[in-house]
A and B are shown apart, each in its own frame.
Chain A
Amino acid sequence: MTAKQMIVAGLFAAGLMLAGNSVYAAGQYGPGVTDTEIKIGNTNPYSGPASSYGIEGKVHAAYFNMINEKGGINGRKINYISRDDAYSPPKTVEQVRQLVEQDQVFLLFATLGTPPNMAIHGYVNENKVPHLFVATGADQWNDPKHFPWTMMWLPSYGIESHIYANYILKNLPNAKIAVLYQNDDYGKDYLNGLRAGLGDKAAKMIVATQSYETTDPTVDQQVVALQGSGADVLLTAAIPKFAAQTVRKVYDIGWKPTHFLNSVANSVGLVMKPAGLEKGVGIISATYRKDPTDPQWQATPEYKEWLAFMNKYGLSASITDSEAVVGYSYAQTLVEVLKMCGDNLTRENVMKQAASLHDLKLPLLLPGITLNTGADDFDPIKQMQLQKFDGTTWQLFGDVISGSGT
């Protein structure tokens, strides 16, 4: 062999080795991933005052079970580990550290609640753990520049309250607005979002605000006090139980404001019916998803598929709960993202795929609403539509509105 031949052979061999390495790199795994399994971590409040949100975690688990029964994602089964944090931030820190350091999960998914997520926000970004589709609508999670590992899913509460603000400015420019809100980040975000949406008119237009705690038995005092302010527009940012009480009380005391109800609290089965269907006529709300108790969606094949799923996996007690629809849609999104990763299941690639969603449709979102993300945009759902209650169902009106939420 001549020297030249040897050099060529050597280069060829080196080339093969490199090519071999990159073939190997294409199937590279991050922590928590093997040929047969992907480990996913989650915290949810299964006990304590926020336990009504625990259904989301249960729906995730059931959905992943279903996917596993169908063969998993690209041949890998999902190992979904969900821990109870009782909505207490110190507990969330502990559980997340256990998930990341002990259980070695691949990513964190749909961790629920603003304070719990705030407690772990720094930790997950420091340790470069994908913090996907946090289950809260606070605007701060859409900040890829400073927190590149955290991504939202819900349309932020800011986007929603901007939609109400714009509607009011356009249709009710002389309104006197009262706001009833839950005294936590969730409720406060709506109040602040409304203020921001009204701009410099906010101080003049918002004439009264009242808050309630989730431990309050009733909100009658707040509703009566708001009526006393002389307001003719009411925004209620509450969870179903208190929204139902509010809708009922507003009617009972003979107050007839233009009533805006926030999206978490507009369920027909959990709010409108318990309050009394005739009491909610005319209420306006914004939404991005289908309500499982609304007759117009119950006729659709997507709903029937969801219903069959709920019944098959032991969740029939919650078929009236819109949080179950939300949990289902969250899980579907994650499955899509994981599918998009193929065999390249590194944490970096997961974030890359999650940030490349383009017009992703989900069966239980409203027609016309899709998920979109980009390198600067970590809020997949930014669209909502307004609807008005007619005594039986929510009538969608207007176009799908895209918000920016700032």
Chain B
Amino acid sequence: MHQLLQQIFSGLAAGAVYASLALALVMIYRATDLVNFAQGEMAMFSTYIAWSLVNAGLPFWAAFLITLAVSFIGGMLIERIVIRPVENAPILTAVVVTIGLLLIFNATAGWIYSYTLQEFPSPFPDRTLFGALMTTRDVGVIAVTLAMLIALFCFFRFTATGLAMRAAAQNPESARLSGIHVGRMLAIGWGLAAAIGAVAGIMVAPVLFLDPNMMSGVLLYAFTGALLGGITSPVGAVVGGLIVGVTENLVGTYLIASQLKLTVALILIIIVLVFRPNGLFGTAVVRRV
């Protein structure tokens, strides 16, 4: 029984890591209808920026806020400069561009910061809770992820910009006619996603340790979690990420050897998707002929 609880809680902790990156993926998808394969690497790069600032002597929270701002602006610039040219091209073209970005960020981080593992400071102390079921850092990741989720939810639901963004993503032509600056909305969407990614990276780095490949594995899980939850739903992203984390742990412990746990976990998730092809919380796309 203790084993089971341990695995579930470990799964939740890992799942929160996936969920935080999944939020960024959902953000970009909602804003621009595109899966950004470079999301993980952008988050990793932001984390290195934070790391450099902390190493240069800045206090943690100052580095955190500066990194958020830099990432936000960086995300907007990337949308403007890198993605804009292929906005009207076939989707696959844009996908390849994001793949190119992934490689560029990964290689550049490795070149500037080397591939040596680095420690990253955590704002949370290093203690275990609930009788060793979780650490304060794991709880921190979960808490921050939930906070981001709530913030995102409120943003889309209750702010004018959020509404404008949803309109711009759903029907750009119509949105333009309503006076919404679609280009700006896209850029803001990317900026927000980059900022979310930065938060995810900073929260995650003390747990996973910082190196240029930190987010490479996480991206796959985040992608799975986002789709399981529904690629258009932030709530779905978090729920999906958590489910992926727990499922993988339970599968690896009770169902099959750890060598096949990812395969089996994916199969299970795909079976779920067969019954709900738009994810658990996703909305079905109704197409009119």
Contacts and interface: CB of A to CB of B under 8 A. Distances in A.
B209 interface: yes
B115 A55 contact: yes
A224 B6 contact: yes
Contact of A220 (B3, B10, B212): B10
Contact of A55 (B106, B116, B128, B132): B116
Between B107, B207, B209, B217, the greatest number of chain A beta carbons within 10 A of the residue's beta carbon is seen for B209
Interface residues of B, number: 43
B119 interface: yes
Nearest to A255: B132
Contacts of A211: 257-259
Contacts of B258: 183, 210-212, 221-222, 225
A370 to B, nearest CB: 29
A214 B106 CA distance: 16
Contacts of A225: 3, 7, 252-253, 258
B211 interface: yes
B119 A274 contact: yes
Contacts of B217: 213-217
B129 to A, nearest CB: 10
Interface string B1-19: 0110011001101100110
Contact of B115 (A54, A215, A252): A54
Interface string A258-273: 0000000000001001
B107 A47 contact: yes
Interface stretch (A3-11, A317-325, A334-342, A373-381): A317-325
B11 A221 contact: yes
A308 interface: no
Contacts of B13: 220
Contacts of A214: 213, 217
Given A240-B117, A274-B117, A52 B128 contact: no
Contacts, number: 112
Contact of A213 (B207, B212, B218, B262): B262
Contact of A252 (B17, B135, B262): B135
A250 B25 CA distance: 33
A318 B116 CA distance: 6
A210 B257 CA distance: 7
A253 B211 contact: no
A254 interface: yes
A347 to B, nearest CB: 33
Contacts of A222: 252, 258
A213 B260 CA distance: 10
Contacts of B211: 52, 241
A224 B3 contact: yes
A217 B253 contact: no
Interface in B20-41: none
Interface in A180-220: 183, 210-218, 220
A215 B113 contact: no
Given A221-B7, A225-B7, A273 B119 contact: yes
Contacts of A224: 3, 6-7, 10, 249, 253
A245 interface: yes
A220 B14 contact: yes
Contact of B249 (A215, A221, A252): A221
B130 to A, nearest CB: 11
Contacts of A317: 113-114, 116
A191 to B, nearest CB: 12
Interface string A19-55: 0000000000000000000000000000101011011
Contacts of A254: 132
B154 to A, nearest CB: 29
B216 A49 contact: yes
Contacts of A183: 258-259
Interface in B233-289: 248-249, 252-253, 257-259, 261-262
19 contacts: A47-B110, A55-B114, A183-B258, A210-B252, A210-B258, A217-B208, A218-B17, A218-B207, A218-B208, A220-B14, A225-B7, A225-B258, A228-B6, A228-B253, A240-B117, A241-B209, A241-B211, A245-B209, A270-B116
Given A49-B216, A51-B212, A52-B115, 10 more contacts: A49-B213, A51-B115, A210-B252, A215-B220, A217-B14, A217-B221, A218-B14, A220-B13, A221-B253, A317-B114
Top-7 shortest CB links A-B: A317-B114, A215-B217, A228-B3, A221-B249, A220-B10, A52-B115, A321-B116
